[in-house]
Amino acid sequence: MDKKRIVVAVSGASGAPLAAACIRQLKKLPDYEIHLVVSKGGEETILHELDMRLEEFKGLAHVCYDNKNISASIASGTYETEGMIVVPCSMKTIAGICSGYSDNLLLRAADVTIKERRKLILVARETPLSPIHLRNMEYLSRLQNVVILPPVISYYSKPKSLEDINFHIAGKILDAAGIKVEGFRRWE
């Protein structure tokens, strides 16, 4: 059986543990194949925010691409994927996607995801937000296949730890991508 390919991209916003939480949940799903790309900024935040080496993090995915390699498979629309999740998504990457300025693999893969009308989940993280950030996100949110999903805590789930928070947000992100996570608590 062919696996469903999902592109996971990590850019340089705070929230690298959310990327790890998403990848760990996806790894439990045998139907899915994780294709990972990490920006230079993403490498920085992984080093600052996760207790693991960069290579260890990259090893969590099934396939990992060099962000400079714009001739990689995910740079082409002919390479079939289920969609793409940018987690976390910096304001610089939002601006790049918004303007179609695809000068690295992450941006090109997002551009391809939009043009092929596949689902693109942007876990946009910055605070406070400037009019420029809001304008870019407002524009992207109008595209039917794009979801702007800021990593916001759900207090109603009564999280006991950072791990609980990350698990719940990862569940929300994957849910938006149409991927069901076991143990994700919904409001009843």
Closest CB 74 distance from ligand FMN, rounded Å: 16
Distance CA 81, CA 34 (A): 10
Closest CB 89 distance from ligand FMN, rounded Å: 8
113 binds ligand FMN (CB under 6 A): no
Residue 77 or 150 having the CB closest to ligand FMN: 150
Q: Is 84 annotated as a binding residue?
A: no
Please identify which residue in 61, 91, 120, 173 interacts with ligand FMN, judged by CB under 6 A: 91
Which span sits near ligand FMN by CB under 6 A: 17-25, 42-50, 155-163, 172-180?
Answer: 42-50
| 69-75: long-range pairs with CB below 8 Å, 24+ | 69/105, 70/102, 70/104, 70/105, 70/108, 72/37, 72/105, 73/35, 74/7, 74/35, 74/37, 74/105, 74/108, 74/109, 74/112, 75/105, 75/108, 75/109, 75/112
Please identify which residue in 14, 69, 145, 154 interacts with ligand FMN, judged by CB under 6 A: 14
| 179-185: long-range pairs with CB below 8 Å, 24+ | 179/6, 179/26, 179/29, 179/32, 181/25, 182/28, 185/157
Please identify which residue in 90, 113, 136, 166 interacts with ligand FMN, judged by CB under 6 A: 90
Please identify which residue in 4, 62, 92, 118 interacts with ligand FMN, judged by CB under 6 A: 92
Closest CB 30 distance from ligand FMN, rounded Å: 30
Which span sits near ligand FMN by CB under 6 A: 41-49, 57-65, 112-120, 171-179?
Answer: 41-49
* Strand pairing category for 83-89 and 146-148: unpaired
Please identify which residue in 17, 42, 83, 151 interacts with ligand FMN, judged by CB under 6 A: 42
Instruction: Tell me the residue ranges of DSSP E strands in 15-135.
Output: 32-38, 63-65, 83-89, 119-124
Closest CB 111 distance from ligand FMN, rounded Å: 14
Distance CA 156, CA 144 (A): 29
Q: Is 32 annotated as a binding residue?
A: no
Binding site for FMN: what residues are annotated?
A: 12-14, 39, 90-93, 125
